[in-house]
Structure 1
Amino acid sequence: MSAIGDTCHVVPVVRTLQRAFPQAQLTWVIGMIEAQLIGDLDGVEFVIVDKSRGWRGFFDLKKALRNQRFDVLLHMHPSMRANVLSMAIKANRRVGFDHARAREGQRWFVNEQVISATKQHATDAYFCFAQLLGVDEQALCWNIPLSNQHQQFAKNHCRNDKPLVIVHPCSSQRQRNFRNWPTECFARVADHAVSHHDAEIIITGGATDFEQHYANEICCLSSHNPINLVGKTTLKQLLALIEQASVVISPDSAPVHMATAVNTPVIGLYASSNPERTGPYLSQQWTVNKFPEAAEKFLGASENQIRLGRRVHDPSV
């Protein structure tokens, strides 16, 4: 899988397969960053791929799996990189997405496809792979391990007498990605949470210069001095913090789905992407969904007229 959010979507599918086939050996080919979060799931063998190595990563994977042949390959990420890596995996059944969702030529790298579905959340789309294997009963659980040290880190930053609100203001940085809410809006929401709910505010994020600047600006604009942990947590520490939180406020980003994994409510902020596909799976009722308006304004179509998964790439969104 190529992103933290995607791996969070897949974990309950893994739990479903473990329950349905308790004797099965499950192997997960995963990126280095994603493995930092879920690489210690019980009952799963992880083969870690360094995506920065390019073709050398392909040969690393081929070498690691050279003596193995699998009954089934679940090719769950339709991208050219994943397609290429899949060629290093020997399997009798090679299952991918249906024609409509098999992007970047995925259908040429598989010999079976899941049943077509037009409107599905990403988590439900991944559950289609279990259904193709005859498993209809879903195990909607994650159980991502957290050590005592991770949990203690979270407790050290929480006050038991106050509700904890985690503000994760930035999504991953990529070309033409306009998911982030203005800093002044986050500051106003943080101040409201403190003044009206006596909440403690923690701002989280990665270590990029952009995220550091974004968080610093929110802190400067806020009247109540949020705790700034941007660039100061590992993924496990962040998950432990989220588990302690009363709510997470975030645009379409990994912590939305990490919060789902630990059953923490999410207020998702969505305009450039459709939360019906990538929103917080268990918190849709609290999601701020401006995607229909953005689609009408910038794409000239209703959300029902465009492909699920299409994004709005306009800076003013």
Structure 2
Amino acid sequence: MKHPLPAQPRHIGVLRLSALGDVCNLVPTVRALQRQWPEARITWIIGKGEHSLLAGLSGVEFVVYDKATRLAGMRALWRELADTRFDVLLHMQQALRASVLSLGLKAGVRVGYDKARAKDAQHWFTHRQLAPHPRAHVLDSFLDFARLLGVEDLSLAWDLPVPEAAHDEALALTGDAPYLLMSPCANPRLRNFRNWSAEGYAAVIQHAWQQHGLPTLLTGGGSTQEREKGERIHALCDPGAVIDAIGGTSLKGLLALIARARAVIAPDSGPVHMANAMGTPVVGLYATTNPDRAAPYCWQAFVVNRYPDAVRTYLHKSLEEIPWGQRVRHPDAMSLIHAEDVIERLEALLDRAAATHPERELPDDET
């Protein structure tokens, strides 16, 4: 017998801890729930870094879990929510750690992914599963939770809060001058292989500088890998073409910078989805991950997509022969992307922006 879903939930729990791009893609689902049930209380259990990005999201109570605290952090969170019972818990994190965390939460019904999409046996930890949705984009998979609950209006909205201090942080780096924003590195975890070459990035920066007079702001975390990548890119470019802010911004400051940029260029990583959420044109660079599943949702037409080539070259298979969402974990996969590919997509974005947003025209009438 299926557990019944609440027709009018009073308290909705959302369990999604990470990552930056994923939590950006989840916000439209939260907004859809708020439109359907404006009086409902929404509590989102979220990771520490992800909370710093979304803090202040209207109508949402956040409970922060720091995964570095491991079991001690879980126990502290369980104590914090000991007197809380959700009408429905949306278990939206496909990881065993999150499923274990969910065991200490009280809920009338727990909703998770269907068996085909559930990783780490997540379906064992839930009462109700989503209807199958083969080959779904991550954002659409999140919206499937709202669909299951009977939400009718699934239109996309974000409205991410950016405090004044973050705008001041951005202005201190760029002033009022137009710029591109480039985040060269994805998360530096083991076998990620999502980063493009310094030479490729530099060629795109040089094009934007020489053809349009647009400098490029480099952003990223403060890891050694990211700083070294930024230094190599900077060394290959003309003086004035690069503003190096790697390791020098908060996440809210990065949101403000993205909001003001002419366009964003980055591999499959948080910044492409942050740009999507802020309505900023974005060129996503994809070879190791499938953009049909994980591209910046509103800018899929401007992705540089070498994933099919990577599957053929390094997995020796066709797209039809591999599981949906399989990654190509090969260090040379991103080399299939050429500077000309990125420049062509960038030019298409700049042309589109000039046509639809005249206030974003390039300097010196170089549109």
Report the TM-score, using the length of structure 2 for normalisation: 0.84
CA distance in 2, matches of 1:83, 1:187: 43
Residue in structure 2 matching 1:185, options 200, 206, 225: 200
1:170-181 aligned at under 5 Å gives the runs 170-181=185-196
Specify the alignment match of 1:40 in structure 2: 56
| SS of alignment partner, residue 174 of structure 1 | coil
Q: Which residue of 2 aligns with 1:278?
A: 294
Q: Structure 1, residues 88-123: CA drift from partner, whole Å, max 9, x if none? A: 111011000000111101011000001111111100
Residues of 2 paired with 1:22 and 1:222: CA distance? 51
Read off the aligned partner of 2:172 and give its amino acid letter.
N
| Counterpart code for 1:49 | Y
Deviation at 1:159, TM superposition (A): 5.0
SS for the counterpart of 2:298 is: coil
In structure 2, how many angstroms separate the alpha carbons of the residues matched to 1:34 and 1:148? 19
User: 1:75: which partner in 2?
Assistant: 91
Aligned to 2:180: 165
Q: CA–CA distance in 2 between the matches of 1:31 and 1:103?
A: 19
Determine helix, strand or coil for the equivalent of 2:121. helix
Q: Check whether the contact 1:269–1:287 (CA below 8 A) recurs between aligned residues.
A: yes
The 5 A counterparts of 1:102-251 are 102-160=118-176, 162-225=177-240, 226-251=242-267
- Indicate if the aligned counterparts of 1:194 and 1:224 stay in contact, CA closer than 8 A: no
Q: Given the alignment of the two structures, is residue 260 of structure 1 paired with residue 276 of structure 2, yes or no?
A: yes
Q: How far apart are 1:223 and its partner, in Å? A: 1.7
* Pairing 1:269–2:313 present: no
SS at match of 1:77: coil
CA distance in 2, matches of 1:147, 1:103: 36
How far 1:253 sits from its partner (Å)?
A: 0.6
What is the CA-CA distance between 1:217 and the residue it aligns to?
0.7
Cα pair 2:311 2:328 within 8 Å, conserved: yes
> Measured at CA, do residues 121 and 224 of structure 1 come closer, stay the same or move farther in structure 2, by a change above 3 Å?
farther
How far does residue 271 in structure 1 lie from its aligned partner after superposition? 0.3
Q: Distance in 1 between matches of 2:322 and 2:264?
A: 29
- Partners of 1:42 and 1:75 lie apart in 2 by 21
Secondary structure of the 2:87 match is: strand
- CA displacement at 1:155 relative to structure 2: 2.6
**Cα distance in 2 between the residues matched to 1:40 and 1:109:** 30
Q: Which amino acid aligns with 2:52?
A: Q
Unmatched segments (≥5 aa) in structure 1: none
| Residue 336 of structure 2: aligned partner | none
Q: State the aligned residue count.
A: 316
Q: Aligned letter for 2:58? A: D
Which residue number in structure 2 is paired with residue 53 of structure 1? 69
**Matched residues in 1 for 2:150 and 2:110: separation?**
15
Q: Distance in 2 between matches of 1:40 and 1:304?
A: 42
What code does the residue aligned with 2:72 have?
Answer: R
Q: CA RMSD in A?
A: 1.1
Counterpart CA distance in 2 for 1:311 and 1:230 is 27
Q: Are 2:321 and 1:308 aligned?
A: no
- Alpha-carbon distance in 2 for matches of 1:108, 1:57: 23
CA distance in 2, matches of 1:315, 1:200: 29
Query: Secondary structure, in 3 states, of the residue corresponding to 1:166?
Result: strand
Question: Could you tell me whether the CA contact under 8 Å between 2:36 and 2:152 is conserved in 1?
Answer: no
Tell me how far 1:128 sits from its aligned partner. 0.1
TM-score using structure 1 length: 0.97
Q: What's the CA shift string for 1:30-68, capped at 9, x where partnerless?
A: 011100010211111110011101111110111011001
Larger Cα-atom Rg: 2
Q: Partners of 1:36 and 1:264 in 2: how far apart?
A: 20
